[in-house]
Amino acid sequence: MVLNRRKFIKYSLFSSLLTYSAGSFSSLYASNSNLSLSDLNIGSASDILLIIDMQNDFCPGGSLGVKDGDKIIKNINLIQNKFNNVVLTQDWHPKDHSSFVTEHVNKDVFSSIDMPYGKQTLWPAHCVQGTEGADFHKDLNTLKANTIIRKGFRKGIDSYSAFWENDKVTPTGLEGTLRAMGVKRVFICGLALDFCVAYSAIDSAIAGFDTYVIMNATKPVDLPGSIEATFTAFNKYNINKVNL
């Protein structure tokens, strides 16, 4: 995605964290933990791998393509082999979804508007139900997943988190599914680190699951302030950073 930073600073979703200064992201982003998946004895019935939104529109060439978004697929497929429980999420919007900038008059892409449930970033149209952009990337192994959670399919509500829509009252059903399965630890990878991965990790931690984000199997959109806000939230909610 091509972003004009100066233009988007004033539109940051994270308006309370407008301390953006050029160059701060790469150093923040590089501050991964030394924790390795191989130290954590993963793969029991109480561990789940949650793979967020590995769809064509979030990969290079897609309408909301994340830089190098496709480069993490190799690691994601390797990681899947270590888990017995795998859940995929799929952003799944109607073609007139209210988060699309095309549904609003005189609004810029990546600006934000007030929705009944709070601030909402306006995105280019993406992941429209039944289109190629909404399909999983062809290199992603989708055979291992036992559950696919679709989100964002209600016209008036966006959904970043795999657990709750952005109104924070409409559940996706994932929490109940994980509880019924006896899941205790949730490992999260996919796209994008600073939006759907971050919101999913926060809701996972709030739900009481031990939550890990696999840093070398995720990539950020990187709007001004978004990575910094993500890591601040990871500290606040005791979300662990881990590497393959």
- Residues in the site for Zn ion, rule: CB under 5 A? 91, 152
- Using the rule CB under 6 A, give the single segment among 10-18, 40-48, 187-195, 233-241 that binds ligand VGL: 187-195
Residue closer to ligand VGL, measured from CB, 42 or 211? 211
Is 151 marked active-site? yes
b/e per residue, 3-34, with b = 16+ CB within 10 A? eeeeebeebbbbeeeeebeeeebeeebeeeee
- Using the rule CB under 6 A, give the single segment among 30-38, 68-76, 175-183, 189-197 that binds ligand VGL: 189-197
Lay out the site mask for ligand VGL across 147-186 (x = CB under 6 A, - = otherwise): -------------x--------------------------
242 binds ligand VGL (CB under 6 A): no
The DSSP output letter for 128 is B
Is the Cβ–Cβ distance between 76 and 213 less than 8 Å?
no
Is the Cβ–Cβ distance between 58 and 197 less than 8 Å?
no
Count of residues engaged in binding ligand VGL, rule: CB under 6 A: 9
Give the residue, chosen from 86, 134, 196, 205, that forms a contact with ligand VGL under the rule CB under 6 A. Answer: 196
Helix or strand run (H / E) with residue 14 = none
Gyration radius of the chain's alpha carbons: 17
Helix or strand run (H / E) with residue 56 = none
Is 71 marked active-site? no
203 binds ligand VGL (CB under 6 A): no
How is residue 163 written in tokens? Answer: 């657990």
Least spacing, CB of residue 67 vs Zn ion, in Å: 17
46 to 105, contacts with ligand VGL by CB under 6 A?
A: 53, 58, 91
Instruction: Kindly list the distances between the CA atom of residue 116 and the CA atoms of 19, 99, 208, in Å, as whole numbers in the listed order.
Output: 27, 13, 28
- Name the binder of 196 from Zn ion, ligand VGL, none, CB < 5-8 A by kind: ligand VGL
* Residue 153 CB coordination number (10 Å): 17
Output the DSSP codes for 179-197. HHHT--EEEEEEE-IIIII
- Name the binder of 53 from Zn ion, ligand VGL, none, CB < 5-8 A by kind: ligand VGL
Query: Would you name the residues annotated as active-site residues?
Result: 53, 151, 196
Which residues sit at the interface with ligand VGL, rule CB under 6 A? 53, 58, 91, 123, 160, 191-192, 195-196
